[in-house]
Amino acid sequence: MKIEIPYRQRKAVAQLVDPDKVTEESLVQTAENAVRAKVDFFLAGGSLTSVPVNNLIEKLKRLTDIPVILFPGNLIQLTAEADGVFLLSLISGRNPELLIGNHVIAAPFLKNIRESVIPVGYILVDCGGRTSVEYMSQTSPVPRDKYDIAVATALAGEMLGMKAIYLEAGSGATLPVDIKMIEAVKAEITIPLITGGGLNTPDKIEEAFIAGADMVVLGNGCEKNDQLIKYACQVRDKFNKSK
């Protein structure tokens, strides 16, 4: 399946499901809520891996028709089970393994499913407090108010051939990415803009869309409030109807 991240004409909601955080029962509930809300994509992955992600993907695909994108936190999570694979380059960081090393290791495996690979320029933004991504990647995030650095990084990602830019506050971030940073990046790039981290209320989701995000990614917020995914999709629908 060729996954297209919506761009300009349509906005999308993705729900992040971490294999380490779900139970059989919570997954069934998550799937039911997501189908009812008409979630666009599931992202499957997480920072740590005690349970294989392919089991989770299989279950999500059994329970719903929603496309599943692998959002690998590490090489152990590499699998051909997903409909799409985010090939993430952590372009805000200077860790060579996350810029090219892991990609070289993964490439011989990914070549067999190359149509499903989506190269993503992943930009970690400082949003108050150290996040798991920052620690696990051993990289420094872009300072929260340095919009020009985020823009330059996103432009570099686009010109290097990335098919989307992901502005990431980090899972469970206290604050989402500043809307001024989303606006600044959106004004300069011509590829889809994804944002996530700390989007735990309908207002924050709406602000991210207004600022120019094409897709929002929700994780923790949905674990804490099972109505959030419904509200997020209603906000998305409001934007998509107005087009």
Q: Give the footprint of ligand 1GP on this chain (CB under 6 A).
A: 16, 168, 171-173, 196-199, 217-221
Q: How many CB atoms lie within 10 A of CB 224?
A: 10
Q: CA neighbours within 13 Å on the CB side: how many for 10?
A: 7
The residue at minimum Cβ distance from ligand 1GP is 196
Would you report the helix, strand and coil content of the chain in percent, each value rounded to 5? 45, 20, 40
Q: Which is nearer to ligand 1GP, 164 or 218 (CB)?
A: 218
Q: What is the CA radius of gyration of the chain?
A: 16
The token pair that represents 176 in the structure block? 């989402």
Least distance to ligand 1GP, CB of residue 174, Å:
9
CB of 13 to ligand 1GP, least distance (A): 11
Distance between CA atoms of residues 37 and 140, nearest Å: 36
Residue 185: CB minimum distance to ligand 1GP, A: 15
Residue 3 vs 125, nearer CB to ligand 1GP: 125
Q: Which is nearer to ligand 1GP, 75 or 136 (CB)?
A: 136
Of 3 and 16, the one with the shorter C-beta distance to ligand 1GP is 16
In the complex, minimum distance from the CB of residue 148 to ligand 1GP, in angstroms, rounded to a whole number:
23
From 70, 164, 172, 64, select the one nearest 113 (Cα to Cα): 70
